[in-house]
A and B are shown apart, each in its own frame.
Chain A
Amino acid sequence: MKLAEESYLTDDFLRQLINVGEVDILVGLPTHNNAKTIRSIVQTIQSGILRGFPRERAVIINADGGSRDGTPELVTGISIDDVRRASNPYALRTLHSISTKYASSPASEVAFRTILAAAELLRAKACVVMSPESANIEPEWLSKLLRPIYRDGFDLVTPTYRRHKLEGLLITNFVYPMTRALYGLRIREAYSQEFGFSGRLGSQFLEQNVWNDGSGETGVDLRFTLAAITGRYRICQSFLGEKDHVERRAADLVPALRQTAGALFSALDPDFPVWSAVAGSETVPTTGSDREVLLAPARVNRKRLREMFSTGVAELESVFQSILSPSTLAELQRIAGTGEEEFHYPAELWVRTVYEFAAAYQKSVISRDHIIQALAPLFRGRVFTFLMENRNASADDVENNIEGLCLEFERLKPYLLQMWKSRE
């Protein structure tokens, strides 16, 4: 047992882990006030383990960020007997559920670190992290995320989902194209709240400096995927089904940008030797579809998106002068002045914007968090164009548009490299 782990794992938690002994499967469940959904999620997890891994030793580790609605008690109090009767009456093993409060306020990186430390101490062979908010989780998700690791020797399994064409636009317009262009692997959901990983990848990531240099404070899930890529671990994707969350919030964009853009930008410097040598991109092994698109009509306030873009470009001019090149800023100002019908934020300009933001982040031209926040209004402009382009598009058309954007990210990669090399 390492001293470093002892310092952030409580004595009571360590005692419970020792009582469990070694396990084959570990399910990590980070929570914070999830009483509404946690009962059905834990039962689904239990059912998934009983059906998919009846002979394996398994444990559910709940890392709680100070819930005040009794979430931890619900996790540990749910009896497995009801699930056992319905799922697999011949399951041989005991399924342990352990809950630990890692802090009085939620911090995803601490929760994940707690889960990784528990996995290392229990010598888990295959681990999976599940979101406490997934409204439509199925027992099969466990097998889909764990089986490639437990049976086929993969180290990381990222999910793919059936999603509405206008959902997850930060993933489709930024995270997926940029990680693909820079790291050379076509991983659809490099940032996800559900994923499987091997014990050895978990242990290797636990030892990385990411916890001490401050870069792991946001977007640790994305940093984990990037660590698997740069460490040349075996990665695959597994189709889970429809992705849905309990609720959507308009104010989520800036925190979402911190977790994705912040994590990706901060990884670029240490990963420079890897991504600078990559050209083009290749697919990763995928079980099932790599993405399915739903086309149901969605209500979106387009006017508000465009207004927030135009206001942002006008009001943040002094901030953008520090981040963007004069030509990019001039082009954005021209677009901001156009009417709704003529408004078009082209893919090439969006890619140049993102790359210039990445370079500015690296140079710390202003506070790094301010750089991330300044990206929000521009992303809204890009979303507006995406909505207009795909208003009546079929699933194939949407896919073609995303593919076109990815190719644009790959084509303009030398522009980023050029800015990176001239930073001194």
Chain B
Amino acid sequence: MREMIISELSQALHELVKGFAHFLPRLIVMLILAFVGWVIAYVAKVVLRSVLRLIKFDRLSENAGASQLLTKAALPSATEMLSRFVFWVVWLGFILLGVSVLGILGLQEQIARFFLFLPRLFVAMFIMFFGLLAASFFSRATLLAAVNANVPSPRVLSLAVRSIIIVFVLSIVFEELGLAEQTMLVAFGIAFGALMFGLAIAFGVGGRGLAQRFLEKRFVRGRKEEKEENEDELSPL
């Protein structure tokens, strides 16, 4: 009986040692991959940060309005954020590669899905950034044109342009990420439809007088008033 217990224990211990001996090289490989990944990720971060500073990415981000959002959320600058993002993506990629070496069942599929998701994440970020840039540019262009044309409520016009562009961009980003596609599609349809309907009502009911004055000015008294307006203005050159 005693010998039997010792034998079973020895065999279990042997199996354990054998299993550990089999697992240890994989663990070491994983740790090496994690370390190498950390070094590569760190180098990538430093290089990217230098390149972004060289091309003055923070100024571009400021123009896009992204910097203001980051400041409000107490986050670091756009350059720092992007550098850190790349660092974590690269390092996480290596760690997951190391984990896959361990051969744990079920993890392989998840890791493969993560790597397939990465390009879509990058594209979504790209669309988001340039979408914000376009929203900022066109809203500012609208604001300046409205102010110089003496149009009432220029800031409301500018905000409307910015909102429409951002809504478009967000819908594209979510579609690209594959997150709640149906919900986003319905939400976008409802939001955009409501916006257009609201504008139609606002212009139709609230702006009836304005529309009347515009049409009268354009087709009835246009020439006379334009002439009077020009007489009041000085020739700049």
Contacts and interface: CB of A to CB of B under 8 A. Distances in A.
Interface string B48-65: 000000000001001100
Contacts of B229: 250
Nearest to B140: A370
B66 interface: no
B237 A319 contact: no
A81 interface: no
Contacts of B140: 319, 366-367, 370
A73 interface: no
A316 B233 CA distance: 22
A167 interface: yes
B104 interface: no
Contacts, number: 85
B143 A319 contact: yes
Interface stretch (B77-85, B112-120, B148-156, B190-198): B148-156
Nearest to A313: B147
B232 interface: yes
A406 interface: no
> How many of chain B's residues touch chain A, expressed as a range?
20 to 34
Interface string B220-237: 000000000111111111
What secondary structure prevails in chain B residues at the interface with A? helix
Given A250-B230, A366-B140, A312 B147 contact: yes
- From A169, A250, A365, name the one whose CB has the most chain B CB atoms within 10 angstroms: A250
Nearest to B148: A376
Nearest to A372: B144
A379 B233 CA distance: 13
A11 to B, nearest CB: 36
Nearest to A248: B235
A379 to B, nearest CB: 8
Interface residues of A, number: 42
B137 interface: yes
B150 A169 contact: no
Contacts of A373: 144-145, 148
Given A311-B147, A312-B147, A370-B141, A253 B236 contact: yes
Contacts of A247: 230
Interface stretch (A148-156, A200-208, A297-305, A332-340): A297-305
B37 to A, nearest CB: 36
A248 B236 CA distance: 9
B97 to A, nearest CB: 42
B232 A300 contact: yes
A250 B229 CA distance: 7
A312 B147 CA distance: 6
Interface string A239-262: 000000101111111101101100
Contacts of B237: 168, 170-171, 191, 252, 256, 259-260
Contacts of A379: 236
Contacts of B234: 166-167, 169, 248, 298, 300, 383
Nearest to A256: B236
A377 interface: yes
Given A171-B237, A315-B143, A367-B140, A253 B232 contact: no
Interface in B124-158: 137, 140-141, 143-145, 147-150, 154-155
Interface of B: 59, 62-63, 137, 140-141, 143-145, 147-150, 154-155, 229-237
